[in-house]
Amino acid sequence: MLKASGVRCGRFTSPHLIDRWDCITINEQTVQEGTFRAAERLVNTRNNAGKIEASEFELLTATAFEVFQQEKIEMGVIEVGLGGRLDATNGMEQKAVTVISKIGLDHQGFLGNTIEEIALQKAGIMRPGVPCVLDKSNSSSVREVIEDHAREIGTEVILSSTESSFLDELPKADFEPHQWENLACAYTAFHLAYTNSKSPLHRILPAIQNIHWPGRLQILDIRSVTGRSQPVLLDGAHNVQSATVLGSYVDSKLRNSANKITWVLAASAGKELEGILKPLLRPNDCVTAVKFGPVDGMPWVEAMAPQDILSATTAAGVPGAHQFDAGADISSALRWAVAVAAGGPIVIAGSLYLASDTLRLLRDAERLTTQLLK
């Protein structure tokens, strides 16, 4: 919406999807690798000279901010890495608006064991006098925590809203429920942050209609790796909240024509698999578990062992004859899935890092095919 309105904008999200620098965009275009690496070297030099001993994520955040300064962006959209209050991204001093989307239980070891404790950590991104948009679908207890903190620091909470004649022009049926709620947050925040008196509404409508998020309900062609002609679904769902959303989507869009889904699953170590698998798996499904590879720039991330995923799969009611341990070989996992699916639906899920590895595998395969055809 910012780009469509003529604002020079940057975006920083984590983790990256394919290459380490694709977590930073300028006007919706991934920053050039050379620009990223030059900014990274500058940040590392400052870190070493000042003996700061910054963490990997702190260095990445500083690199993103350095790129934004060099590129002279007018506004940045910054995703918190973990929590909020103590996150590296929260070092920003100039905030136009803060946004707290739908809160779920995740990263309890860092953020707290209840939804209310996590909400307080999220509330730490607020600043005095800077409005905070809160996803209205959050529970009343979350809303109470957020609003209490807002009063303490001297700011206001504005609930996300889709009550707009502009949004009436969008066919709601084209959006999943969580996408519509996310749009409500973004649209509300946009109007608080965009201060130009000239209305850009005629330009942001097509921007919203044409948006695609890689790794989120993404339709993939895996023909280059497996020979399968039918598309597959890729989604980075990795906690109970996102798995519930994915499960609902799969049940309504894929199970209506098939009673079996073939899953390719990975997970980060320590994830609460029982809650994640419950909304996804049915006894007639097939599951291959795989271990994603090392994550560039994120040495603290560890993959769960495939046998642990399959143990949870068995506990969820999927028989052992419907399971396959692919080890660390994603190509093998995809080929097994294609064979047992026999043209039926395939879903790749459980981890954004698995989504990354899958997209990278497909990119490399397509590049090789292109080279062979030359």
What was the pLDDT predicted at 323? 97
Domain total in the chain:
2
Same domain, 199 and 315: no
pLDDT at 154: 96
Structural tokens at position 250: 């799969």
Same domain, 34 and 76: yes
Task: Please determine, for residue 13, whether its predicted confidence score (pLDDT) is greater than 70.
Answer: yes
Beta bridge partners of 349: 265
Considering the domain architecture, whether residues 165 and 244 belong to the same structural domain is answered as no
Assess whether 274 and 125 both reside in one domain. no
Domain holding 147, by residue range, is: 3-209
Q: What is the pLDDT of residue 178?
A: 87
Do 166 and 289 share a domain, yes or no?
no
Q: Are 297 and 188 in a shared domain?
A: no
Q: How confident is the model at residue 371 (pLDDT cuts 50, 70, 90)?
A: low
Considering only residues 161 and 149, tell me which one the structure prediction assigns the higher pLDDT. Answer: 149
Q: Are 263 and 325 in contact (CB under 8 A)?
A: no
Least reliable range by pLDDT among 20-34, 197-211, 238-252, 341-355: 197-211
pLDDT confidence of residue 37: 97
pLDDT of the residue at 207: 87
* Band (211; pLDDT cuts 50, 70, 90): confident
pLDDT band at 77 (very low <50, low <70, confident <90, very high): very high
pLDDT category at 112 given cuts 50, 70, 90 is low
Instruction: Give the pLDDT confidence score for residue 268 in this predicted structure.
Output: 93
For the record, the structure tokens of 300 come out as 């603290």
Q: Say which CATH number the domain at 59 has.
A: 3.40.1190.10
- Mean pLDDT for all residues in the chain: 91
Residues 6+ apart with CB under 8 A from 251: none
**DSSP secondary structure string for all residues of 131-197:** -EEE-TTS-HHHHHHHHHHHHHHT--EEE-----TTGGGS-GGGS-HHHHHHHHHHHHHHHHH---S
Amino acid present at 276: I
Q: Is the pLDDT reported for residue 89 higher than 60? A: yes
Average pLDDT, integer, range 188-206: 82
Predicted confidence at residue 103, as pLDDT, reads: 86
pLDDT reading at 206 higher than 80: yes
* Reported confidence tier of residue 317, pLDDT bands at 50, 70, 90: very high
The encoded tokens of residue 69 equal 């300064």
Domain boundary among 209, 230, 257: 209
For residues 157 and 112, give the distance between their C-alpha atoms in angstroms, rounded to a whole number. 22
Write down the pLDDT at residue 367.
82
How far separated are the first and last CA of the chain, in Å rounded?
39
CATH number at residue 287: 3.90.190.20
Q: Are residues 228 and 358 in the same domain?
A: yes
Which amino acid belongs to residue 259?
N
Residues 228 and 204 in one domain: no
Question: Of the candidates 161, 178, 209, which is a domain's last residue?
Answer: 209
Q: Which of residues 159, 189, 209 is at a domain's end?
A: 209
pLDDT tier at 83 (50, 70, 90 boundaries)?
confident
For residue 78, give the nearest of 97, 105, 55, 59 by alpha carbon. Answer: 97
Identify whether residues 27 and 175 lie together within a single domain: yes
Query: Do 242 and 307 sit in the same domain of this protein?
Result: yes
**Quick one: 35 and 129 in the same domain?**
yes
Which range of 41-50, 244-253, 295-304 scores highest in mean pLDDT? It is 41-50
Please check the confidence at residue 109 and state whether its pLDDT lies above 60: no
Q: How confident is the model at residue 373, as a pLDDT?
A: 67
- Model confidence at 251: pLDDT above 80: yes
Residue 123 has pLDDT above 60, yes or no: yes
Do 280 and 304 sit in the same domain of this protein? yes
Average pLDDT over residues 238-254: 91
Return the axis-axis angle of helices 140-153 and 115-123, rounded to nearest 10°: 30
Confidence of residue 170 (pLDDT cuts 50, 70, 90): confident
Would you say residue 35 has pLDDT above 90? yes
Is residue 72 scored above 90 in pLDDT?
A: yes
* Residue 304 or residue 195, greater confidence: 304
Per-residue pLDDT at 203: 83
Helix 240-253, helix 177-193: angle, nearest 10: 120
Query: What tokens were used for 59?
Result: 């260095």
What average pLDDT does this structure show over 91-114?
Answer: 79
Task: Give percent of the chain with pLDDT exceeding 70.
Answer: 96
